[in-house]
Structure 1
Amino acid sequence: MTVNLALVSGCLAPPPFEGVGRPAPPGALPGTCWDTLIEPARVETITEQVMVSPPETAADGSVTKPAVFATETRQEITRPRKETYFQTPCPDAMTREYVSSLQRALAARDLYQGEITGTLNAETRAAIRSYQKDIGIDSASLSLRGARSLGLSAVVVDR
């Protein structure tokens, strides 16, 4: 049964972005790789005192029955969820040599103190995040913009 499924799946054409990173934004060129920054919605809890019934007063203006208040609590979205795409080097470019160069580039900027292993370990990802925050990308996934600014990926020049 497993062999039959493998044969059938081998006959189907893969989606254009399969195996090249996460889902791409609409209009992205096939063969490009992407990741997303997700900024969660901000929800605030608002608590208010509302008058349920007004006070009752006598003819002389004295209060015979005080007002009745209730506490109402509601949640309000003060900032909607935001998803931003950024282009990344494709997985096939992330070789041991490339990651080793990335680690050396981050070490030269005092952001990475670990061994040059050629693997995207937690320390490397933390250094990537630290480096990219200055360019507005708060992610541990290496962006193509970050890779280019580190001199690791080719820069496209318009002629």
Structure 2
Amino acid sequence: MHLTSRLIAAMALALAACEAPTDSTGNWPGEAPPAPERMADGTCWAREVTPAIYEHVMGEIQVVQAEIAEDGTVIRPPVYRRAPVPRVVKPRGELRFETPCPEQTTPELISSVQRALAARGYFSGSVTGRFDAPTQAAIRKYQKERGLDSAQLSLETARALGLIATPLDAL
């Protein structure tokens, strides 16, 4: 095995080891959703970041630079070799959506979310009043079917479940 092949294999192994351990919700184990950002108008907004997705394709990498004279003539052309190179399949994304503010997100509301999702067949865990992994997975599944791939409870979902009132001007 050539030195460059070994180097590429070692780099790939090192990058694979850098992946964070996550649970089925995409969060660190036991982690609650991040706190929403409060806006000047009193609304709260959550942020869902999706990491970029890469694949490795065969490409050319330069292994020896060209040697160029002062007058600009090429003394020795560059040397390239075919090797796997990363390519972005899907760029990093960031989605912002309105969410219940922290003072609204009480254990009672979370328990109601759990019961509402259980009644619709999305949640089968115990009603705990906490944003635990089964609750986040159920929220993600429910919202993903409606176009929002997030384990953070959106205000629209809370209203659709009948847990937070819809203002009259929004009807």
* 2:36/2:101 contact within 8 Å kept: no
Q: Which amino acid aligns with 2:142?
A: Y
Larger radius of gyration: 1
Matched, 1:94 2:108: no
Matched, 1:45 2:56: yes
Q: 1:83 to 1:72 in 2, by over 3 A?
A: same
Partner Cα distance (1:151, 1:34) in 2: 20
How many aligned positions are there?
A: 120
Matched, 1:118 2:129: yes
Secondary structure in structure 2 of the residue aligned to 1:128? helix
Identity %: 44
Deviation, 1:49, is 6.7
Instruction: Give matches, 1:10-159, under 5 Å.
Output: 21-23=35-37, 28-48=39-59, 70-158=81-169
Deviation, 1:78, is 3.6
Partner Cα distance (1:120, 1:104) in 2: 13
Q: CA RMSD in A?
A: 2.7
Q: TM-score scaled by structure 1?
A: 0.63
Secondary structure in structure 2 of the residue aligned to 1:151? coil
Q: Which amino acid aligns with 1:116?
A: V
Give unmatched runs, 5+ long, in structure 2. Answer: 1-33, 62-79
Partner Cα distance (1:123, 1:104) in 2: 12
* 1:21/1:33 contact within 8 Å kept: no
Partner Cα distance (1:152, 1:82) in 2: 29
- What is the CA deviation profile of residues 58-86 of structure 1, one whole-angstrom value per residue up to 9, with x for unaligned ones? xxxxxxxxxxx841443333432110101
Secondary structure in structure 1 of the residue aligned to 2:86? strand
Partner Cα distance (2:138, 2:118) in 1: 9
Q: Which amino acid aligns with 1:71?
A: R
Give unmatched runs, 5+ long, in structure 1. Answer: 1-19, 51-68
Q: 1:43 to 1:157 in 2, by over 3 A?
A: same
Secondary structure in structure 2 of the residue aligned to 1:92? coil
Partner Cα distance (2:117, 2:91) in 1: 34
* 2:139/2:151 contact within 8 Å kept: yes
- What is the CA deviation profile of residues 8-62 of structure 1, one whole-angstrom value per residue up to 9, with x for unaligned ones? xxxxxxxxxxxx93346xxx54321121222222323221479xxxxxxxxxxxx
Q: TM-score scaled by structure 2?
A: 0.59
